[in-house]
Structure 1
């Protein structure tokens, strides 16, 4: 484990009336990866454990051998040679889980870090002990912080936190922990509801490696690193069936219904969407008045799709119910 020699931030004044519903502890996490795609791997991970009021309890760090090309070395600095002797993810899974157990996972763009972590635990045939996550980007927006953008370095500068080694997992986790603490206190002082989201471990998933275009000056073939997102958009053929309208609770799905998904799913989202499409459903990327059904395991969260579904009175079911409905989809309504 690498030691963090940076001095801790001065303690914040004690507050009275701390919100009773706030979590009892946090795990501030950063992972560096071989890329941003679904099949990419973690090359290093760090955790700062914080108590209920954001005070640092301890920290942990480990490089991880990704068992493949390390990807954007020019970003994370971890070469194939450096990682050759690093432990495999299953060898650090217990130590990592110990730091996550019973805490809210906090990360900057938390959906990415959680997705990478969940997939690594799935590969190791394990489950990460995380039930909720908090994204510091979402929290900054809730607080209305006057930030020109939502980069980690911008949030750090707002609170006067000095970055010493950007894109090193341990230093990024330290920076985020120090920036999260005052944000947490601002939220508590205002009685703000924290933007917590449920974390759904992966129970079924598939790695589908995608080629990366080689670019001049980038012989490793990771030229797409900055352009590719976590889950790149896929071009499916248009649904051939007309939209029959909304799903009627207790009834059957009908081919042509517009189905949207929100939040984490136990079956990898891409697989779930493929099954819905193969059953004759239209995969909607957003929620509108035309949406037949929203599938989510966290209907009370404040995601834009959930908010719109509530405003439109769109029917909502969880993943398990949707999987049952997929087994008996009614044929498209006749136009005659």
Structure 2
């Protein structure tokens, strides 16, 4: 009978993309009979993440819209569409299909918008979903998560239905005979991806390396791997995307888990040697070594071993000095920040960095709203081997700038 839909998007305009979609099929009484949801990879920046809460770490493994387009049609076909602000959801959905060269029926012309009907059923309430749920005694524990909004909207529809006689006030609504028919797109039953799917992808990446690869010799393979590791650790955080890059590179170089552990221990020893260069290991330096050890799946005991080795013998050979920013380096901002971009630009400039609008091979750092950003700038930076960090890690990176270049 009914089908409730909700989409979370990168913005409000036709050019924006869907990043999450949820659908619930209902019977004539408004009872849920089936539900389906997935994140959608928009292959671009995710927009106002502080509003919808979708993380790039999750979305990067999600299907693109063309991979679910047929599945969505099968869920909507021959049912009365329902949404809270149906005009918005139907418009963004229609533009996704237009990008595929398809036209779908105008859902707003024959569907039910619970926001519009709120004036009739909840005359004293506001029009937002939150206000309508409050007035109707409906719980929506995770607003702006598509499935949570869908289920709340389904309850709102049921409340409307229970307030009427046997014939719904919108029973004259039906598919416009002049509207285009649903396009014929194969339904692939694509595996959905939900929030939290990438929660652990950046941690313990060592466990994803295979055990039984012949021991890799020292440079150049080791240097190549350590160079990528060094850039990933510039913010003392390994994002899900960086973990994927490290695992892929290790596999390409023939570096298995045992060899990676040896390389990680050597990397930690070189950091310990740097900390010991002035004869004293400060509390902050010790904390930094502990943090790196954790990121490299090494025990805290490995820090003591690294410090002992640094105190009793020569520092391990490094292919290059630890990656740190210096005054005058170029940084680029990307994504929709909770604060303005000018706020973060001033923060970077006050640290002695130059801010540029575009990524080039001369760029030293990209600061993103999300460290796993899918924006074109972030993608280009990774292709050039330029670190991409989240704003939450910026203070860590700036604090570790080369001392002679701080302002």
- TM-score normalised to the size of structure 2? 0.42
Task: Report the Cα distance in structure 2 between the residues aligned to 1:181 and 1:220, rounded to whole angstroms.
Answer: 46
The answer as to 2:135 corresponding to 1:158 is yes
Q: Does 1:174 align with 2:151?
A: yes
Q: Answer yes or no: is the 8 Å Cα contact 1:187–1:194 preserved in 2.
A: no
RMSD: 3.1
Q: Is the 8 A contact 1:135 1:195 kept in 2?
A: no
Whether 1:67 aligns to 2:40 is no
The answer as to 2:161 corresponding to 1:184 is yes
What's the CA shift for 1:130? 6.6
Residue 140 in 1 paired to residue 118 in 2? Answer: yes
Q: Is the 8 A contact 2:104 2:181 kept in 1?
A: no
The answer to whether the 8 Å contact 2:6/2:22 transfers is yes
User: 5+ residue gaps in structure 2?
Assistant: 183-333, 344-407
Matched, 1:99 2:221: no
CA distance in 1, matches of 2:105, 2:339: 41
Cα distance 1:146–1:36, how it changes in 2: closer, same or farther (>3 A)?
same
Higher CA-based Rg:
2
- How much does 1:180 deviate? 0.9
- In 2, Cα distance between the equivalents of 1:194 and 1:151? 24
Q: Please name the residue that 1:54 is paired with.
A: 30
> In structure 2, how many angstroms separate the alpha carbons of the residues matched to 1:72 and 1:118?
21
Map 1:1-336; keep pairs closer than 5 Å: 25-128=1-104, 132-143=110-121, 145-188=122-165, 192-193=169-170, 196=173, 217-219=339-341
Q: Secondary structure at the match of 2:82?
A: strand
1:168-226 Cα offsets, whole Å, 9 max, x none, are 001000111111111023233586345848675699xxxxxxxx9988814499xxxxx
In 2, are the aligned partners of 1:46 and 1:169 still within 8 Å (CA)? yes
Give distance in 1, aligned partners of 2:102 and 2:139: 36
Give the SS at the match of 1:157.
helix
Which consecutive segments of 4 or more residues in structure 1 shift more than 2 A? 79-82, 125-132, 187-203, 212-216, 218-221
1:321 maps to which residue? Answer: none
Q: Residues of 2 paired with 1:214 and 1:29: CA distance?
A: 25
Number of corresponding residues: 188
CA contact (8 A) 2:7 2:146 kept: yes
CA distance in 2, matches of 1:52, 1:140: 19
Partner SS, residue 86 of structure 1: coil
Instruction: Render the CA deviation track for 1:278-298: whole Å, top value 9, x for unaligned.
Output: xxxxxxxxxxxxxxxxxxxxx
CA contact (8 A) 2:10 2:45 kept: yes
The 2-side partners of 1:182 and 1:142 are apart by 12
* C-alpha distance in structure 2 between counterparts of 1:48 and 1:220, whole Å: 41
**What is the match of residue 323 of structure 1?**
none
Question: Would the alpha carbon gap of residues 193 and 171 (structure 1) be closer, same or farther in structure 2, given more than 3 Å must change?
Answer: closer
SS class of match (1:121): helix
Do the aligned partners of 1:139 and 1:195 also contact (CA within 8 Å) in 2?
A: no
Residue 339 of structure 2 aligns to a residue whose secondary structure is coil
Q: Distance in 2 between matches of 1:111 and 1:216?
A: 27
Task: Flag the 1:220–1:194 CA change in 2: closer, same or farther, 3 A.
Answer: farther
Structure 1 residue runs without a partner (length 5+): 1-24, 204-211, 222-336
Which residue of structure 2 aligns with residue 242 of structure 1? Answer: none
For 1:158 and 1:195, locate their aligned partners in 2 and report how far apart those are by CA, in whole Å.
27
Write 1 or 2 for the structure with the bigger share of helix. Answer: 2
Determine helix, strand or coil for the equivalent of 1:61: strand
Contact 1:103 1:130 in 2 (8 A): no
